[in-house]
Chains A and B, each alone.
Chain A
Amino acid sequence: AQTVTQSQPEMSVQEAETVTLSCTYDTSESDYYLFWYKQPPSRQMILVIRQEAYKQQNATENRFSVNFQKAAKSFSLKISDSQLGDAAMYFCAYTNDYKLSFGAGTTVTVRA
């Protein structure tokens, strides 16, 4: 299985501010997909954003954007204008076939 590393167990952000979550991965493949998933206390896994490795343009979904650095094997998630509803565990995930490899997760708390 591929290795996905999230080095930040916890992050805290003030409401309306920006927070960036880091993720690195290890692969020898050139074609693969990267994802960020959100898991609130309800435990539902929600797909936040996806990035295809062959696309140089960074993916964006509303207030969520990524900084994909293929050479560095880095895939960070930026949450802009943080809202109370963004509080959750965030998982970075990798696949080059159909199996997902997940990082350990980062817990994001949002301060009102």
Chain B
Amino acid sequence: SAVISQKPSRDICQRGTSLTIQCQVDSQVTMMFWYRQQPGQSLTLIATANQGSEATYESGFVIDKFPISRPNLTFSTLTVSNMSPEDSSIYLCSVTGGSNEQFFGPGTRLTVL
């Protein structure tokens, strides 16, 4: 399984600001995924990030709010823009394994005041 790291592990931000979350994988992967987990809730897919192309966003998520970069096969960033308290969540990145499973990073806990 891939080893995935995320930075920062947690942050407290003021409303109206933006935060960029980094996801680094120890091997080259085609697809990377970004999820949001609101407090006490399940995981919701934000977007799929492929290297060399625009990210594909799920219903309810837009590029202006959650811009994603994927500059190479081991790295991706997710920016949460113009934050409000409703954006307080855990944000997780993941990559696919060999049997359609996904392996997850440790998550970034974001609190917006």
Residues of B within 8 A of A (CB): 1, 31, 33, 37, 41-45, 48, 90, 92, 94, 96, 99-104, 106-107, 109
Contact = CB atoms under 8 A, between A and B. Distances in A.
Contacts, number: 47
Given A99-B45, A99-B48, A45 B100 contact: no
Interface stretch (A15-23, A63-71, A102-110): A102-110
Contacts of B41: 104
B43 A102 contact: yes
A47 B109 contact: no
B42 A52 contact: no
Nearest to A100: B102
Contacts of B31: 98
B100 A98 contact: yes
Q: Interface residues of B: mostly helix, strand, loop or mixed?
A: strand
A39 to B, nearest CB: 9
Nearest to B99: A50
A42 B43 CA distance: 15
A43 B109 contact: yes
B48 A43 contact: no
Contacts of B106: 42-44
A102 B41 CA distance: 10
A45 B33 CA distance: 14
B42 A95 contact: no
A70 B44 CA distance: 25
A75 interface: no
Given A43-B90, A43-B106, A45-B92, A52 B45 contact: no
Looking at B45, B94, B102, the one whose CB has the most chain A CB atoms below 10 A away is B102
B46 to A, nearest CB: 11
B101 A44 contact: no
A102 to B, nearest CB: 5
Contacts of B102: 47, 100
Contacts of B44: 102
B42 A105 contact: yes
Given A91-B42, A99-B48, A103-B42, A33 B101 contact: yes
